[in-house]
Chains A and B, each alone.
Chain A
Amino acid sequence: MAFANSSIPGPENIHRREYANGMVVLVKENFSSPVVVIDGVLRFGHVDVKREQAGLAGFMASVMMRGTPRRTFQQIYEEIESVGAAADVGAGLNVSGFGSKSLAESLPAMIDILADVIQNPIFPPAEVEKERGEILTDLEERADDTRRMASLTMRELLYPATHPYAYSSSGYFETVKAITRDDLERFYHKHVGSKGMIVAIVGAVKADEAFRMWEDAFGDWTGADNPITLAPPAPKPSEVRRKSIDIPGKTQSDLVMGLIGPARTDPDYFPAALCNSVLGVFGLNGRIGEKVRVQGGLAYYAYSRMDGGLGPGAWQVVAGVNPAKIERAIDLCRAEIKRIRATRVPAKELADNKAFYTGSLPLRLETNDGVAEQLTNMELFGLGLDYLQRYADLVNAVTPQQVQDAARKYLDPDAYALAIAGPTDH
């Protein structure tokens, strides 16, 4: 059975409405299971936070779920969990997310709760302290986690110190301890509003009914006249910036190599994405996986990843290796970066990667979560309602030359940030 183009979500079955308060709602009906997923975006994030308050956006978003004039923390979660649903609000780097997953019969309750916590959070002092303690304990765990420490340190090396991507979105002990309840409330009133809000509702609900429920709950809300902040551009590193973090007693080190990658909206996004696939995704993690894991036997995981969001996200190479084999793994990763810049990807290899990209679309659209995520991204990045139907053409249009151009533009074997976290006494 072929995946006919007509069964891919598109303008004929994605319902979209814009509202005066700046929000956009997308609905896709799917009655094959009794489930409805809401996936939404709010236009605030870590980009709105200065270094001295690192962690503020995430802290604030978590406490939004901890109390309103109508519901205590326990009442919020009792309502959600008693029907087997999940609902949350959480901050991201550029934008923040909210959403729910429930049986269709519980959708009205989920919308009511989301409206309440997004529009009326009261930041109860006791709940602020509970959340603070959880964040601080998590930061303690991070300090002992080679993977998280390597990733954090790579970002600190890659971006200029004042760039929001340079400092941790979870924050640091000093910054999280210093954030006050008033800081949370101020940040909320300045940044959380309906402007730029995107909501995708996917599942066993009629479109008209979904729109009506969402309009009833959010149609009159404006909230903050929120400025929409975009991360500033970031210069490419001009040399190797390397740092080792000593975490004694560990048996494995993690290395993260980082470069500045494209934004999702950059014209060379697809060539760069295919370049990344060839380099460190396809099959068991592309050419890097082949060299580092399959041939070298050096690591259980070795891959590359491109953020490709609204800003100059990182393009990373990640590997977990024995501390004694770090230099060998770095050499192999650098050699692959050199190769993909120097030699055009053979036609067969590029064709395989394109087939992977286009062929995996049905799997990505199998569940309501998968469709909702696609709809939200389509709206956020201005890709158009027919994007998924054009997707195969966009991928197939990429040439080997464009892939090589993207590699030469973004990747450099002699100028990158490199963080290694693990034992230094091996």
Chain B
Amino acid sequence: MAKKATRATRTSAQRAKMVSRNGVLKTVLDNGLTVILHENHNAPVATFWCWYRVGSRHERSGITGISHWVEHMLFKGTKTFPKATVDRLVSREGGIWNGLTWFDFTTYFETLPADKIDLALRIESDRMVNALFRPKEVKSERTVIISERQGSENSPAFLLGEVMQATVFLVHGYHHETIGHLCDLQSMTRDDLYAHYKAYYAPNNCIAVAVGAFDRKEMLKRIETAFGKIKPGPPLPAIHSVEPEQKGERRVTVEGEGQTSYIDVAYRAPEARHPDFAPLVVLDAILSGPSGLSLFGGGSTNASSRLYRALVDTELAIDVSGGLLPTHDPFAYTIGATARQGHTPAEVEAALDAELQKIIEQPPSQAEVDKAIRQAKAQFAYGSESVTNQGFWYGFSEMFADYHWFETYLDRLSQVTVNEVHRVAQAYLVKRHRTVGYYVPKSQ
């Protein structure tokens, strides 16, 4: 059991845990709340985030989707901020807000004109512990969430992706989509939701991040005032799921509506903290183009990447993309493509395999590695224009490593060598460790 908060007796300056470097301050309040602050006076705006270490990875069968549903319930009212007031209060001050749930985390943010950022602190400290979960609101939100799932089910990409995840992960909590299974969304109770909230929402399971036009010391004081009196929660439930080694290629097919075919291929990939992650980022950039470091879409093209040339320029597919997500536990490196009219996923797969074989056999050129690093540097600069985006990365990186992961990202990429890229291509692009999925129109 964490010790009771005693913040009233000590000041932030007396704390041993405070780290301050490169304009970033990181500290832990006595109740366990981690605080990360970054001053940025480029524009008169500020962003505030609360990150909780709970996501779909922490869910067992029967309550899949519960983390995401809890996130929705935090917008359904506390005594201080009744239902639908949070969004209006933030909008009235000219701000933006949202909640996001994913495999490893649930997070809430507000970005506001800098002189209004206290509103975010009041909202987040209140709903960390005071959300009501009124049965009537649970009932109404059930249909909203089922509607969200049904909207996703309209998309072939979602249908294929859901089956892919369930096939790649037999044991680990990454095996289901964050939205959850329909049967669980239909049967989960108010008590299930409230118990999940009480188990995971506490200062000792939260990272508070603020970025923007404020004074760091002053902001730390304000955060202490807003959050310092909240008591730590009980020890967190332990999660021990480990995915066993994959023994042989897995293949799945989803049949559905429409006239277009899609292919997804998922290779095993390490967790974000693993030393192979940086060379894999470079490998992905060479194969499928740069990953955006912007939260809300990157906008870069990938027409000069190897896979675009092999699949799209040859008119087998109309697009191709690669996905290497930073995660807490080992996840997957995925390659997806949309088959061009008149072509099959099998044709796309054959061309994909031939192209991947080249980088397995021959190291990439130094020029290709240099290009990937230049792309990452540019993406990093674009991402730094927005405080919301910076707040996202400082918090997100704490969910699978710590914020240094984000700060040293370019340094690690810059050190990647041609040989390392070649080595990880050979180590991870392994057929017996992959899952191949097709979405095929029923009519074909």
Contacts and interface: CB of A to CB of B under 8 A. Distances in A.
A362 B143 contact: no
A133 interface: yes
B301 A1 contact: no
| Chain A interface category by residue count | 35 or more
Contacts of B378: 83-85, 102-103, 106
Contact of B301 (A81, A137, A322, A360): A81
A83 B371 CA distance: 7
B43 A144 contact: no
Contacts of B88: 282-283, 352
B290 A294 contact: no
A137 B260 contact: yes
B78 interface: no
Contacts of B92: 352, 355-356, 359
A7 B376 CA distance: 31
A19 B60 CA distance: 66
A295 B140 contact: yes
A1 B43 contact: no
B87 A297 contact: no
A355 B148 contact: no
A298 B94 contact: no
B385 A81 contact: no
Given A82-B374, A356-B92, A368-B385, A1 B44 contact: yes
Interface in B19-45: 42-45
A146 B154 contact: yes
Given A358-B94, A361-B94, A144 B143 contact: no
B313 A84 contact: no
Contact of B91 (A144, A250, A283, A300): A283
A96 B112 CA distance: 32
B379 interface: yes
Nearest to A277: B91
Given A133-B340, A252-B153, A2 B115 contact: yes
A1 B39 CA distance: 13
Most chain B CB atoms below 10 A, which of A80, A81, A357: A81
B341 A78 contact: no
Given A77-B304, A81-B290, A321 B147 contact: yes
A28 interface: no
Interface in A14-48: 32-35
Interface string B140-169: 111111111111011010000000000000
A101 B375 contact: no
Contacts, number: 209
A81 B289 contact: yes
Given A322-B147, A355-B94, A83 B257 contact: no
Interface in B354-402: 371, 374-379, 381-382, 384-387
A251 interface: yes
Given A140-B258, A320-B147, A294 B83 contact: yes
B232 interface: no
A109 interface: no
B132 interface: no
Given A81-B302, A144-B260, A284 B84 contact: yes
Contacts of B259: 140, 143-144
Nearest to A252: B150
A240 B381 CA distance: 50
B289 A283 contact: no
Given A81-B303, A249-B257, A359-B116, 15 more contacts: A77-B301, A81-B290, A85-B378, A101-B382, A129-B315, A146-B154, A250-B153, A251-B150, A283-B84, A297-B140, A297-B144, A321-B147, A322-B147, A352-B92, A360-B96
> What 4 A-B pairs are tightest by C-beta distance, nearest first?
A359-B94, A84-B378, A144-B258, A77-B303
14 contacts: A1-B214, A74-B304, A82-B374, A249-B257, A250-B154, A251-B149, A252-B154, A284-B84, A298-B143, A321-B147, A322-B146, A360-B95, A363-B111, A366-B42
